[in-house]
Structure 1
C-alpha cells in the first residue's frame, strides 16, 4: 500500500487510462464508461480507509472489468465468455490508448458540444457536476448530452481502435481549442476565466503532443495555449475586471510558460509544414516578447495575419487582421476596412466588431462615436466582465 495523497488528482489521472484499457478489451464504450465510473466511486470510498494500492491503475482496471462482466450477465450468449474473462489478468495499458480514446470522443457522428462534453468526461476525468459548473449548464443537461453521445457512438458501431482518417485528428485539435478558448474567455457568465477548462485543455494537449511529437499543428496548439495562458495573471483586476493587453503589467506574465511556448513553436516551425495553429501561436509570441506595448512588432503581426487569412480565413481572423493593419497604417485605414465588411452577417452582429470600431474611433479622435460603439458592444456581449470593461471605456470618454 502507498500513502494516500492527492486522491482526486490521482483518480482523475488514472480514469482515462483505465477506461481506455477496459474499452479496448470489452468494447461497448457506454457500458465500459459506466463500469469505470463505478470503479472510481469504489476507490474514492475504499482507498481513504485502506490506502492506495501498490498498482492503483491495475486495481481500477480489474474492478471495472469485473463490473463490466456483471453488466453482461443478463446476456445469455455471453455467459461462457464471462466465466473465462473473470480469471484473465488485467489488460495492459498501451501507449496509444488515451489517444484512441480522445479520437473516439471526437467521433464525426457527434455534434461539437457533445464532443467537448464527452472529452471532458472520458479523457479529462471531470465529473458531470464539474463539467456543468465549467460550462455553466444544468447538470441534467450535461448528463443527457453525455448519455446521448455514448448512445450515438454505440449506434455507429465504432470500434475502439486508432482511426486512419487525418480529419479525426483535426477534430481533436478543434475540440481542445474550443475547451481552451471557453476557459480563457468565457462566452457568458460572471467570470472572465474558467481556469479548470484552460488547465484541462493544456493537460490534454500536452498528452497529445507527447504521442504525436512530429505533428506541427499539435505543437502549434500547445504553444498557442501556453503563450496565451501566460498572460492570465495580468488579465483581470479586483472583482474580475478585464485589463486589456496594452494595459497589463507584463512583469506578471508567466515567463516560464512563454519560454516553453516559444521553444515548442520554434521547433515546430523548423521541422513541420506551417499551419494555422502555428501562425496563431507565432502572433501570440510576438505579443509576449514585447517588453512594452509600444515595442510590439505590428508589421510582423500584420504579415502573420495575412498568412493566416490565406490558410484559414474566418470572421475573427479578418477582424484581427484589420486591427493589426490599423496599428501599422493608422485608424482611418482600419475604419475603411470595417466599412467594407458592413454586409458580413457574422461580424455585423458580433460585439467584437463594435468594440474594434470604438477603439479605432477613439484612436482617430472621435470620442462621441467611440462612446456609442463601446456601449453597443457592451449590449451585445453576454460576458459580465466584458460588459463592465466596455461600459467603463465609454464612461472614460
Structure 2
C-alpha cells in the first residue's frame, strides 16, 4: 500500500500511511488529547487488515501528536448514544474498540507503540497490548474510569491483574497515575526512552523494519517507587472491597513518611462511584482466576454494557465532562459494600450475549 488511508476520518484525526518498511499510524487530535472516535478506530482496523498480507510492511509503528498519546476512547460519543436511547450503537462503538485492542495484541507482525504523553483508558488498549511498548519521558498512565461511573477497560484489567497485591486495586479504584519507570517495573511497557529521541527511533524503525533497535536506544527515565509504597500497605492478598483498601491506606498513613501520599490516595478513592469500584474488583478477581486478554475484554464489555444504562454513568459524565463541578452524587454512598448477588447481574447480562459472541468468535476483525 502507498499513500495514506485517512479516508473520511474527520480533519485527519488519525494519519495512516507507509514509511519505508513500516506502516505508520499517528493519532492527530492533539487538542482533544487524541481521544479515539469510532471513525478513528475503524480507520485503524482497515489499515491493519490491509497491511496484514503486504510483504512490504514489515512492522507497524503507532505514535501520536501532542501532549497525550491517547486519553482514551471518546466517551462523549458513547454517552450521546446512551442519551439518545441507542444502546446498541453505544455497545457497538465499544466493541469495535475492544476488537482493535485484541487485534493489535494478536497481530502477526511486530507492533511498536511509542507513548510519549498521557495514556488513559482506550489509550492503554491501543498502546499497552502492542508487542513492543515504549514510554517516553512524558509518559503518564492513569485509569480515571471509576470517577465517571465506569470501570478500567480496553483490557486494562488483564494488565492490572498481573501487578503485585494492592497495586492493581489502587490504580483501578483511585485512578493512581504512574510514570514510565513504574510502568516498566510493573510490566505495562517494555522500554523507556528520552522523548527527544522518539522521532529518530521511529525513522530507524521505518528504515530497518527491525524492532531490535528499541533496545539499543532505550534509556532509563527514573527509578520506580510505587511497588515500594504499596508494599508499605502490607497487603498480602487481593483486596476485595474499596473499604479494605481504605483501611490499608489509613493504617499505612500513620507513618509520617507515608501520611501525605496515603491521604492523597484516600481522597482519590472517595471520589469514585462505589458500584463501579466494586465491579472493577470483580473484574480483577475474574482475571486473576482465569487470565487472558480476550477474557478480560469480554467481561469488561459485559460490565460496561450494563453500566451505560445505570444512573451513575450519566451522573459521572455530567459532573466530570458536562457541568464539570466534579461533585458527582452517586446512587450509593462511599463505603458501601456490595454483595456478590448485587454485582453478579452486571457480569452476565443476557442482552449482551450476542455482542460477546461476535466479539470472541471474530477477533481478527
TM-score with structure 2 length normalisation? 0.30
Higher fraction of strand: 2
Structure with bigger RCO (C-alpha 8 Å, 6+ apart): 2
TM-score with structure 1 length normalisation? 0.28
Higher fraction of helix: 1
Which has the greater radius of gyration?
1
